[in-house]
Amino acid sequence: MAHSTKNEGEDRSVGRYRRLMLDVRRVRSELDVLKAGLARKGVDPRELDRLAEIDGRHRRLAEQRDTLRAQVKQVSKEVGRLRQAGDLEGVEARMAWSRQVGERERALAVQADEAGAELRDLLLRIPNVPAEDAPDGAGEDDNVVVRHAGPDPEAYAEHQRVPHWEVGAALGILDLERGAKVSGSMFPLFRGAGARLLRALTSWALERHADAFEEVRPPSLVRTAAMVASGQLPKFADEAYHLERDDLWAIPTAEVPLTSVAAGEILAEAELPMRLTAATPCFRREAGAAGRDTRGLIRVHEFDKVEILAYATPDQAPALLGELLERAEALVVELGLAYRVLDICTGDLGQSHARSFDIEVYAPGSGLWLEVSSVSWFSDYQARRADIRYRRRGDGKVEHVHTLNGSALAWPRIWAALVETGRQPDGTVAVPGALAPWFAGATTIGSAL
């Protein structure tokens, strides 16, 4: 990568906060616009008023601190001149004054730091502004189904209406009991052809993205800064696995390390869009999910997923959002699963998201639509937190990139839908043609492999 890590052209008086999430300058100049945008996500406008008040207080305290600091510095020079002139009485008077002002300056510095910490914490918690074309809505019931393909739920045969945990146990390819013995509930253990199915899905998906995406194998443990950059912290701390001894976090998605690959860098516009893909394990506590959709593979604490992610200019971002969605959707089509695409409404958008589409597949044995991919555009929200910028080709101006990502795909629910949809009358499971190269010519799971 051709880049510079220097914070060029930065207004250092506000730079620390400009790089975190919302541009704090917009709070000062476009407060009503931000209020209107964030109200679509259900954010109380008073939170923005509070943000503006804290920002104003922080700036006033910092200005007063800096004024006193400059005065103390000037007096230090005067003391030097008075000492050279032999005016010891003048030296003592100016030093006494300097001590008094220094105490006030230190008190103001503490207050400014406290206001700055309060400002930073609130900025980290204020969500991204939704895109103008995101549909309005209060919650998931208001998401818009934009496409549906494949059989209707009523069209499946009886032999397909067996839940995957029963199919998996009967074929010896899913051992939830032993997974729980090793690690606890919601940690599945795949065996034989079940494990091979996961490996096949991963290899197949990575090959499908190899035409345009650089494959990356990032670390599965990341620093706190990477979790903050992607928007996982502080909001989702309770759902993450934290290794306190090393202050590292188990990644909930490859989006986290991939977002921070270029953290603190300035990219050349010619490098954009930069497309990355990764297959990684993902770890989530699924806090609050107890008793809801916890059977089988519908909600698990560890799973494998292939991620696609891009850095882009603002002008490139809309087309890339369409490209990422098209790639994720094409995978589901190739697997022969019934699916639908949802346009996520403002009330159901994630904290970092400006625009999102979900892909759900139908699992006839579980009788559920299961989300297997979320394709999202974050505008410059994550890039500000990670300080990822690019230098424009024409005028050399430096600005933040836009980030986009998508699951392509997450495997536990795909595994479940494939096993249920592909179940044959004799109890075996048909192997999708796309995965045949990884099954040594076998066409079913349950026959000799």
Question: Taking the CB of residue 115, how many other CB atoms lie within 10 A of it?
Answer: 20
pLDDT, position 18:
40
pLDDT, position 83:
84
CATH number assigned to the domain covering 3-39+44-125: 1.10.287
CA distance 436 to 215: 23
CA distance 103 to 96: 11
CA distance 169 to 175: 6
> What are the domain boundaries of the chain?
3-39+44-125, 140-445
pLDDT, position 4:
39
Q: Is 83 helix (H, G, I), strand (E, B) or coil?
A: helix
pTM above 0.85, yes or no: yes
Per residue in 25-43, pLDDT (tens digit) is: 888 999 999 999 999 999 9
DSSP H or E segment with residue 48: helix 45-84
Question: Would you call 366 exposed, middle or buried from its count of C-beta atoms within 10 A (0-12, 13-18, 19+)?
Answer: buried
pLDDT, position 85:
86
Question: What CATH fold (topology level) applies to the domain 140-445?
Answer: BirA Bifunctional Protein; domain 2 (3.30.930)
Dihedral of CA atoms 320, 324, 326, 328 in degrees, nearest 10, equals: 180
Dihedral sign computed on CA atoms, order 371, 375, 379, 381: positive
Low-confidence ranges of the chain (pLDDT < 50): 1-20, 288-289, 448-449
CA distance 405 to 400: 16
pLDDT, position 7:
37
**In terms of Cα–Cα distance, which of 210, 374, 407, 214 is closest to 308?**
407
Are the beta carbons of 306 and 204 closer than 8 angstroms? no
pLDDT, position 291:
53
pLDDT, position 435:
97
Question: Taking the CB of residue 66, how many other CB atoms lie within 10 A of it?
Answer: 15
Q: Is 88 helix (H, G, I), strand (E, B) or coil?
A: helix
DSSP H or E segment with residue 51: helix 45-84
Convert 171-180 to b/e letters by CB count within 10 Å (16 or more is b).
bebbbbeebe
pLDDT, position 276:
98
CA distance 444 to 448: 9
Indicate the residue type of 95: M
Helix, strand, coil percent values for the chain (each to nearest 5): 45, 20, 35
Residues marked as catalytic = 284, 299, 371, 374, 413
Equal CATH topology for 3-39+44-125 and 140-445? no
CA distance 113 to 238: 27
Find the DSSP H helices in 190-301: 193-209, 224-230, 255-259
